[in-house]
C-alpha cells in the first residue's frame, strides 16, 4: 500500500492548526482558567506553550517526518527495537481515550447548534443542560459527531483531512473575529477582559503547584502535543519543509485563536452577569446559553458560535481518529475503510460510557488526559533526545536553512534534558497535589532529579543511548 502525503505545505499547516484549534481553545480553556484563579492561569499557560509546547511539537515532527510511520511504527523502526514499539502504543491508547470523551462534547455542541436555532434552552438554560448532557440523548448526538468525524477520515489524508481543514480553518478565523468584535460591544465586556487579562499574581503565588500542573496539561492539550497526532500528521510530510518554521506558525495561530476565543467567551459571561467562577465541564454551556438567551440578537450569535465550535471540534477529532487508523494501516495492513469502520464502532461504545457516566467523563477529560499527554510527551522527548540524538539534529535541520542550524543543538538539549526533568517534576507535584499530600518543594525537586537520572541511566543500560 502506498502511503499518502499532503499536497501542499499550507495543507499540512492548516491540518495541524486544525488539530490544535479545538474545544481546548474554546471550551476547556475557560473551564481551566476559571478553576485556576482566572488570569493567573493565562500567564503560566502562555509561558508553557512557548517553553514546552513548541519544542515538544518539534520533537513529534522530527519523529514523524523521519519515520513516515504512525507512532508505533515510528518508534519501533527508528530505534530498531520492538520495545519502543510498545511505548508507541501509549499514543494509541491516549487518542482512543481522548476521542471517547471529545466526541461526547462534540455531541453537546451539535445539540446546542440545533437548540440555538430553535430556542429550546432559552427559558431554562441550567435545567436544559442537565437534561441533555448525560444520558441516552447525549449518546445519540455523540454518535452523529463521530459519524461526521469518520466520514472525513474515510476520505483519506488529501481528500478528507487536507480538504476539510482548508475550508474549515479560514471559516473559523473569520467567524471568531466577527464574534469578538460583537462581544466587545456588550455591556460589561470590560469586566470580562479584566478577568481574562489582568494577571493575578497573588493567586499564582499561593497555588503555584496546582496552577502549574493544570497549565501544563492545558498547554499540551491545546497544541495537540503528547498524543502522537502530530507525529502522525508529520509522517505525511516531504523533506522540503522547515519544521521549526512550521511549528512556530502552528503555535502562533493556535494561541491567537485561543486568545480571540477568550475575548469572545469572557465578555459574554460578564455581559450576562453570570458567575464565571462556576466551574466544571458544563459551566460554559450553561453560562453562555444564559447569555445568548438574554442578549439582543442572541439567537443568531448563538448559532454562529456553535457553528464555529462544531468546525473547531471536527478539525481536531479527525486527527485523533487518524492516528489509530494510520496504526492499523501501517502496521497491520488494514484498509483505511475497514480501520475507520472498526474504530468507529469501538468509539461508539467508549463514548457511550462517557455520555452515560459523568464521573467517568470528568476523570477522563481532565486528570487522565493531562497525565497521558505528559507521559506521552516524556516518551517522545527521551526518544528524540537519547535514541535519535544526532539523527534528530539532522532531521531538525533538513529544509530549515540557517534557522535550523542555529536552533537544532539548543533544541536537542531542551528536549533531551531540560524538559524531561521539568515534566517529571510537574507530574510528581501534580499527582501529590491531587492526593492531597503537601511536601516541601525541596524534597520534590530532589525526587524529580533522582527519577530523571534513573530514567536516563536505565536507557543507557538498555543500550539505546547514542
Question: Which residues in this chain contact ligand PHE in the complex, by CB under 6 A?
Answer: 19-20, 22-25, 98, 221-222, 224, 227, 229, 316, 319-320
Closest by CA to 282, choosing from 290, 293, 273, is 290
Q: Which residue has the cell 475503510?
A: 337
CB of 211 or CB of 369, closer to ligand PHE: 369
User: Which phi and psi (to 5°) does residue 139 adopt?
Assistant: -65, -40
CB of 23 to ligand PHE, least distance (A): 4
CB of 309 to ligand PHE, least distance (A): 10
CB of 271 to ligand PHE, least distance (A): 25
CB of 28 or CB of 241, closer to ligand PHE: 28
Closest by CA to 192, choosing from 92, 111, 259, is 259
Say how far apart CA 304 and CA 117 lie, in whole Å. 10
In eight-state DSSP terms, residue 33 is H
Q: In a 10 Å sphere around its CB, with 0-12 CB exposed, 13-18 middle and 19+ buried, how is residue 166 labelled?
A: middle
Residue 293 contacts residue 202 (beta carbons within 8 Å): no
CB of 71 or CB of 404, closer to ligand PHE: 71
CB of 316 to ligand PHE, least distance (A): 4
Residue 411 contacts residue 55 (beta carbons within 8 Å): yes
CB of 22 or CB of 244, closer to ligand PHE: 22
CB of 22 to ligand PHE, least distance (A): 2
CB of 19 to ligand PHE, least distance (A): 5
Q: In a 10 Å sphere around its CB, with 0-12 CB exposed, 13-18 middle and 19+ buried, how is residue 15 labelled?
A: buried
CB of 218 or CB of 464, closer to ligand PHE: 218
Say how far apart CA 87 and CA 380 lie, in whole Å. 9
Say how far apart CA 417 and CA 342 lie, in whole Å. 40
Give me 291's grid cell: 447569555
Say how far apart CA 132 and CA 409 lie, in whole Å. 52
**What does the longest C-alpha to C-alpha distance in the chain come to?**
67
Work out the number of other CB atoms within 10 angstroms of the CB of residue 86. 12
Say how far apart CA 178 and CA 119 lie, in whole Å. 22
CB of 185 to ligand PHE, least distance (A): 27
Q: How far is CA 366 from CA 35, 103, 145, 429, in A?
A: 12, 15, 21, 16
Is residue 8 helix, strand or coil? coil
CB of 139 or CB of 320, closer to ligand PHE: 320
CB of 215 to ligand PHE, least distance (A): 14
Residue 152 contacts residue 318 (beta carbons within 8 Å): yes
Residue 371 contacts residue 427 (beta carbons within 8 Å): yes
CB of 192 or CB of 217, closer to ligand PHE: 217
Burial annotation 17-55 (CB, 10 A radius, 16+ → b, else e): bbbbbbbbbbbbbbbbbbbbbbbbbbbbbbebbeebbbb
CB of 317 to ligand PHE, least distance (A): 8
CB of 91 or CB of 430, closer to ligand PHE: 91
CB of 448 to ligand PHE, least distance (A): 25
CB of 376 to ligand PHE, least distance (A): 9
Secondary structure E strands in 38-155: none
CB of 149 or CB of 287, closer to ligand PHE: 149
CB of 271 or CB of 373, closer to ligand PHE: 373
In eight-state DSSP terms, residue 435 is T
CB of 162 to ligand PHE, least distance (A): 16
Say how far apart CA 7 and CA 77 lie, in whole Å. 25
CB of 146 or CB of 204, closer to ligand PHE: 146
CB of 22 or CB of 71, closer to ligand PHE: 22
Amino acid at each position: 500500500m502506498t502511503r499518502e502525503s499532503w499536497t501542499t505545505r499550507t495543507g499540512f499547516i492548516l491540518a495541524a492548526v486544525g488539530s490544535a484549534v479545538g474545544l481546548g481553545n474554546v471550551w476547556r480553556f475557560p473551564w481551566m482558567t476559571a478553576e485556576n484563579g482566572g488570569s493567573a492561569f493565562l500567564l503560566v499557560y502562555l509561558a508553557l506553550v512557548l517553553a514546552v509546547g513548541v519544542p515538544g511539537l518539534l520533537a513529534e515532527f522530527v519523529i514523524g517526518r523521519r519515520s513516515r510511520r504512525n507512532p508505533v511504527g515510528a518508534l519501533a523502526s527508528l530505534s530498531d527495537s520492538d520495545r519502543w514499539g510498545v511505548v508507541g502504543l501509549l499514543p494509541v491508547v491516549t487518542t482512543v481515550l481522548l476521542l471517547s470523551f471529545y466526541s461526547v462534547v462534540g455531541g453537546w455542541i451539535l445539540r446546542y447548534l440545533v437548540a440555538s436555532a430553535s430556542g429550546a434552552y432559552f427559558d431554562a438554560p441550567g435545567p436544559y443542560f442537565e437534561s441533555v448532557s448525560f444520558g441516552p440523548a447525549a449518546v445519540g448526538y455523540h454518535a452523529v459527531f463521530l459519524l461526521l468525524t469518520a466520514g472525513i477520515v474515510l476520505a483519506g489524508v488529501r481528500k478528507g483531512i487536507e480538504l476539510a481543514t482548508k475550508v474549515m480553518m479560514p471559516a473559523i478565523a473569520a467567524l471568531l473575529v466577527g464574534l469578538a468584535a460583537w462581544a466587545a460591544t456588550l455591556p460589561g465586556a470590560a469586566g470580562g477582559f479584566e478577568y481574562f487579562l489582568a494577571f493575578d499574581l497573588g493567586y499564582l503565588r499561593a497555588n503555584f503547584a496546582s496552577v502549574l500542573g493544570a497549565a501544563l496539561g492545558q498547554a499540551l492539550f491545546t497544541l495537540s502535543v503528547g498524543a502522537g497526532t502530530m507525529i502522525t500528521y508529520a509522517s505525511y510530510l516531504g523533506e522540503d519543509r522547515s519544521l521549526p518554521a512550521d511549528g512556530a506558525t502552528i503555535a502562533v495561530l493556535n494561541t491567537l485563536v485561543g486568545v480571540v476565543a477568550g475575548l469572545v467567551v469572557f465578555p459574554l459571561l460578564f455581559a450576562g452577569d453570570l458567575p464565571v467562577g462556576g466551574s466544571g465541564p458544563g459551566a460554559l454551556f450553561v453560562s453562555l446559553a444564559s447569555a445568548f438567551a438574554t442578549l439582543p440578537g442572541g439567537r443568531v450569535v448563538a448559532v454562529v458560535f456553535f457553528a464555529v465550535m462544531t468546525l473547531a471540534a471536527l478539525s481536531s477529532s479527525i486527527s485523533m481518529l487518524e492516528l489509530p487508523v494510520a496504526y492499523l494501516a501501517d502496521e497491520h495492513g488494514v484498509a483505511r475503510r475497514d480501520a475507520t469502520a472498526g474504530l468507529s464502532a469501538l468509539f461508539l461504545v467508549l463514548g457511550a460510557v462517557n455520555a452515560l457516566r459523568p464521573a467517568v467523563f470528568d476523570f477522563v477529560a481532565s486528570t487522565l488526559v493531562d497525565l497521558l499527554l505528559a507521559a506521552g510527551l516524556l516518551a517522545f522527548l527521551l526518544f528524540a533526545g537519547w535514541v535519535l540524538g544526532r539523527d534528530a539534529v539532522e532531521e531538525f535541520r533538513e529544509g530549515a536553512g540557517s534557522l535550523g542550524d542555529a536552533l537544532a543543538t539548543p533544541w536537542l538539549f531542551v528536549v533531551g534534558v531540560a524538559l524531561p526533568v521539568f515534566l517529571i517534576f510537574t507530574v510528581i507535584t501534580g499527582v501529590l497535589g491531587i492526593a492531597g499530600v503537601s511536601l516541601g518543594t525541596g524534597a520534590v525537586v530532589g525526587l524529580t532529579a533522582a527519577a530523571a537520572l534513573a530514567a536516563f541511566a536505565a536507557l543507557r543500560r538498555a543500550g539505546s543511548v547514542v
